[in-house]
């Protein structure tokens, strides 16, 4: 684990399964239709139960770069924030990932949440490069946390050692700037 403070908020890096984290909300790397298929979304659907997908169906979807919130179902987290990251090749991917990150943080603050956990959005089947993801998500989060926020803890939960190392290097660079 690695921890760095921005403003009044701790940013932590952990390696593991985001569905096991005990935070107020976890972020799902969603698709625009909010259909919980494979990857992080599939794990959330399996462990969280059908209430999450049912609520997603009622919401109906959101845009790339957008974020919506649902119940956490049977997860330890009370809520799931479904953030839609970009697919590589669709254009303006960096800005869309920045927006997905920022909109998730804003939604957590609007709901008065104290802790939030992110996966590496868009780095799975959407094909976004891991190093660019780490840079965009960490910089966006650090900049946001320097403003007014009620968030006490933001976790980046990385699935494997390679992803953890990339995020660890970027967080180290960010802390030193």
Which of 115, 102, 122 shows the shortest CA–CA distance to 163? 122
Tell me the pTM. 0.96
Question: What are the pLDDT tens digits along the chain (177 aa)?
Answer: 899 999 999 999 999 999 999 999 999 999 999 999 888 899 999 999 999 999 999 999 999 999 999 999 999 999 999 999 999 999 999 999 999 999 999 999 999 999 999 999 999 889 999 999 999 999 999 999 999 999 999 999 999 999 999 999 999 999 875
**Overall domain count for the chain:** 1
CA distance 173 to 177: 7
Tell me how far apart the terminal alpha carbons of the chain are, to the nearest angstrom: 21
Nearest CA to 118 among 26, 36, 12, 6?
26
- Domain range holding 54? 2-175
Short-list 44, 8, 35, 37, CA closest to 117: 44
Per-residue model confidence (pLDDT) at position 150: 97
Give the domain CATH number at 148: 3.40.220.10
């Amino acid at each position: 684990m690695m921890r760095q403070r921005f403003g009044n908020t701790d940013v932590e890096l952990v390696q593991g399964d985001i569905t096991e984290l005990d935070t107020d909300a976890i972020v799902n790397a969603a698709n625009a239709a909010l259909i919980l298929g494979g990857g992080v979304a599939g794990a959330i659907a399996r462990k969280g139960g059908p209430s999450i997908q049912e609520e997603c169906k009622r919401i109906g979807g959101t845009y790339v770069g957008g974020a919506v919130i649902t119940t956490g179902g049977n997860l330890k987290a009370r809520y799931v924030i479904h953030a839609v990251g970009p697919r590589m090749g669709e254009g303006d991917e960096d800005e869309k990932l920045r927006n997905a990150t920022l909109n998730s943080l804003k939604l957590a603050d609007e709901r008065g949440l104290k802790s939030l956990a992110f996966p590496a959005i868009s780095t799975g089947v959407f094909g976004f490069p891991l190093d660019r993801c780490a840079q965009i998500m960490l910089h966006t989060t650090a900049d946001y946390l320097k403003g007014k926020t009620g968030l006490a803890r933001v976790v980046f939960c990385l699935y494997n050692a390679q992803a953890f190392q990339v995020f660890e290097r970027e967080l180290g660079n960010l802390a030193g700037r």
